[in-house]
Structure 1
Amino acid sequence: MPCSLPRSPLSAAETEIDTIIIGNGPSAMILSYILHGHVPFYSSEPPHPDPLLHAKLLNAPCLLRSDLDALTHHFAASRMSYATQALPVNVLLDTLLRPNGDTDDLGDVTNVRWEYHPHLKIPHRVLGDAPTPGGLWAVEDPARVSWDIQTLSYAGLLSLPGYTFADHFRKTKKAELAAFTRPSRRDLAEYLRAYPAEVGIEDVFYNGAKIAGIERTEDGFYIHSHGIRCKRLVLATGIFSHIIRPPPLLLPLTQLPGHCSSGAQLLVIGSGFTAADVIISTPPDQPILHIFRWDPDNRPSPLRSGHQQTYPEYAGVYRLMKRAAMSSIGATPQSKPRKLASTPFLKSRNWDQVYEGLPNCEVVDVSVHNGKGTVTLRLPDEKGTTIVRRVCGLAYTVGRRGSLDYLDPSLRAEVLDGAGELDNGMVTPRTLRNKVMEDLEVAPGVFVIGSLTGDSLIRYAYGGCVHVASTLMNRDQEQTSSGGSTPKRPAGTPTGGQDALLNGIDGHGRPSNDFCQSNDEANAMNGARNCPDLAGSSWIMRKWWNAFMNVFSSAS
Structure 2
Amino acid sequence: MPLIEETVLPGDSLLTLPVVIIGNGPSGICLSYLLSGYRPYLSPEAIHPNPILHTKLEEARHLSIVDQDLEYLSEGLEGRSSNPVAVLFDTLLHPDADFGYDYPPVLHWKLEQHNYIPHIVLGKGPPGGAWHSMEGSMLTISFGDWMELPGLSFKEWAASKRRNIKSDRVMPEEIACYYKHYVKVMGLQKNFRDNVYITSVSRLYREKDDEGRSHQNEDLKTQRSEMEDGQKSLIKRNWEVRGYQRATDGSHVPFCLFAENVALATGTFDSPGRLQVEGEDFPFVLHSMSDFGAVISKGKLRGKADPVLIVGAGLTAADAVLCAYNNNIPVVHVFRRRVTDTSLIFKQLPKKLYPEYHKVYHMMCTQSHTMDSNQHSAYTSFPEHNVLSFKPEMKCVLQSASGLKKILKFSVALVLIGSHPNLFFLKDQGHSIGHHSNQPITCKGNPIEIDPYTYECTKEANLFALGPLVGDNFVRFLKGGALGIARCLAIRQKKKHELIESGDGGGDGVP
Amino acid at match of 1:429: K
Please state whether the residue corresponding to 2:334 is helix, strand or coil. strand
Partner residue in 2 for 1:33:
33
2:328 corresponds to which residue? 285
CA distance in 1, matches of 2:114, 2:69: 22
Give the Cα–Cα distance (whole angstroms) in 2 for the partners of residues 414 and 293 of structure 1: 30
> Following the alignment from structure 2 to structure 1, what is the Cα–Cα distance between the partners of residues 389 and 442?
30
Deviation at residue 279 of structure 1 after TM alignment: 1.1
**Equivalent residues in 2 for 1:292-303, closer than 5 Å:** 292-296=335-339, 300-303=343-346
2:392 is the alignment partner of 1:375: no
Tell whether the 8 Å contact from 1:169 to 1:176 is kept in structure 2 after alignment: no
Q: 1:413 to 1:295 in 2, by over 3 A?
A: closer
Deviation at 1:406, TM superposition (A): 1.6
Q: Does structure 1 residue 86 correspond to structure 2 residue 82? A: yes
Q: Kindly indicate whether the alpha-carbon contact (under 8 Å) linking 1:254 and 1:393 is maintained by their aligned counterparts in 2.
A: no
Q: Supply the RMSD in Å over aligned alpha carbons.
A: 3.0
Q: Evaluate the alpha carbon distance shift between residue 22 and residue 216 of structure 1 in structure 2; reply closer, same or farther with a 3 A threshold.
A: same
How high is the TM-score relative to the length of structure 1?
0.73
Match of 1:148 in 2: 137
In structure 1, what is the equivalent of residue 92 of structure 2?
96
1:140-219 to 2 correspondence within 5 Å?
141=134, 146-173=135-162, 181-218=168-205, 219=237
* 1:194 counterpart SS class: helix
Cα distance change, pair 7–152 in 1 and its aligned pair in 2 (3 A): farther
Matched to 1:295, the amino acid is R
Change in 2 beyond 3 A, CA 1:234/1:49: same
Per the TM alignment, residue 238 of structure 1 is displaced from its structure 2 partner at its CA by: 1.8
Return the alpha-carbon distance in structure 2 between the equivalents of residues 486 and 89 of structure 1.
32
SS of the residue corresponding to residue 245 of structure 1 reads coil
1:211 alignment partner, SS class:
strand
Write out aligned runs for 1:334-413 (5 A).
335-336=372-373, 353-364=377-388, 366-369=390-393, 373-379=394-400, 384=404, 386=406, 388-409=407-428, 412=430
Could you tell me which amino acid in structure 2 is paired with residue 264 of structure 1?
D
Cα distance in 1 for partners of 2:441, 2:337 equals 26
Counterparts of 1:465 and 1:254, CA distance in 2: 40
Contact 1:21–1:236, Cα closer than 8 Å, also in 2:
yes
Q: Specify the SS of the correspondent of 1:200.
A: coil
- Picking from 458, 468, 471, the partner of 2:475 is 458
- Residue 46 of structure 1: aligned partner: 46
Instruction: Identify the residue that residue 307 of structure 2 maps to in structure 1.
Output: 265
Aligned-pair CA distance for 1:163: 2.2
Deviation at 1:196, TM superposition (A): 0.6
Aligned to 1:116: 111
1:251–1:69 Cα change, 3 Å: same
What SS is found at the alignment partner of 2:65? coil
Compared CA separation, residues 380 and 67, structure 1 to 2 (3 A): closer
Q: Counterparts of 1:55 and 1:486 in 2: how far apart (Å)? A: 41
Once the two structures are TM-superposed, the CA of residue 227 in structure 1 deviates from its matched residue by 0.8
Gaps of 5+ in 1: 76-81, 338-350, 488-556
Q: Is the 8 A contact 1:44 1:54 kept in 2?
A: no
Sort the Cα spacing of 1:385 and 1:251 in 2 relative to 1 into closer, same or farther, 3 A. Answer: closer
| Paired residue secondary structure (2:358) | helix
In structure 2, the CA distance between the partners of 1:162 and 1:352, relative to structure 1 (3 Å rule), is: farther
Q: For 1:289 and 1:464, locate their aligned partners in 2 and report how far apart those are by CA, in whole Å.
A: 40
Q: Which position in structure 1 is the counterpart of 2:65? A: 63
Structure 2 vs 1, CA of residues 478 and 193 (structure 1 numbering), >3 Å: closer, same or farther?
Answer: same
Aligned pair count reads: 442
State whether residues 84 and 453 of structure 2, in contact with CA within 8 Å, keep that contact through their aligned partners in structure 1.
Answer: no
Percent identity, aligned pairs only?
24
Residues 437-483 of structure 1: CA deviation (Å, up to 9, x unaligned)? 47511121111111212111111122221111011111011011112
Q: Partner residue of 2:208?
A: none
- Per-residue Cα deviation, 1:294-326 (whole angstroms, up to 9, x for no partner): 32565642222222211111111111111134x
Q: Which residue of 2 aligns with 1:229?
A: 258
Instruction: State the alpha-carbon separation in 2 of the partners of residues 114 and 245 from structure 1.
Output: 43
Name the residue aligned to 2:362. Answer: 319
Verify the 8 A CA contact 1:404 1:427 in the aligned structure 2: no
- The amino acid of 1:213's aligned partner reads S
The answer to whether the 8 Å contact 2:96/2:103 transfers is no
> Is the CA contact 2:433–2:449 (under 8 Å) kept in the aligned structure 1?
no
CA distance in structure 1 between the aligned counterparts of 2:156 and 2:195, rounded to whole angstroms: 27
Deviations 1:515-552 (A, max 9, x none): xxxxxxxxxxxxxxxxxxxxxxxxxxxxxxxxxxxxxx
Runs of 5+ consecutive residues of structure 2 not aligned to the other structure = 206-236, 244-254, 286-294
Contact 1:4/1:207, CA 8 A, preserved across alignment = no
* AA of the residue aligned to 1:320: M
8 Å contact from structure 1 (residues 291, 358) kept in 2 = yes
Partner SS state of residue 314, structure 1: helix
Q: Distance in 2 between matches of 1:412 and 1:8?
A: 24
CA separation of 1:90 and 1:391: change in aligned 2, threshold 3 A: same
Contact 2:447 2:470 in 1 (8 A): yes
Q: Radius of gyration: which is bigger? A: 1
CA distance in 1 between partners of 2:35 and 2:484 (Å): 12
Distance 2:268 2:405 in 1: 38
Give the direction of change, closer, same or farther, for the CA distance of 1:245–1:87 in structure 2 (3 Å limit): same
Note closer, same or farther for the CA distance 1:154–1:13 as it changes in structure 2 (3 Å cut). farther
- Is this contact kept in 2: 1:478–1:486, CA < 8 A? no
Question: Hey, what does 2:224 align to over in structure 1?
Answer: none
Deviations 1:246-275 (A, max 9, x none): 323232544365741222211101111111
C-alpha displacement of 1:486 = 10
The aligned amino acid for 2:88 is L
| Distance apart, 1:151 and its partner CA | 0.4
In structure 2, C-alpha distance between the alignment counterparts of 1:275 and 1:6, rounded to whole Å: 42
Structure 1 residues 500-539: aligned runs within 5 Å = none
Looking at structure 1, the residues matched to 331 and 350 of structure 2 have their Cα atoms a distance apart, in angstroms, of 24
Q: 1:268 to 1:14 in 2, by over 3 A?
A: farther
Please report how far the alpha carbon of residue 429 of structure 1 lies from its aligned counterpart in structure 2 after TM superposition.
Answer: 2.8
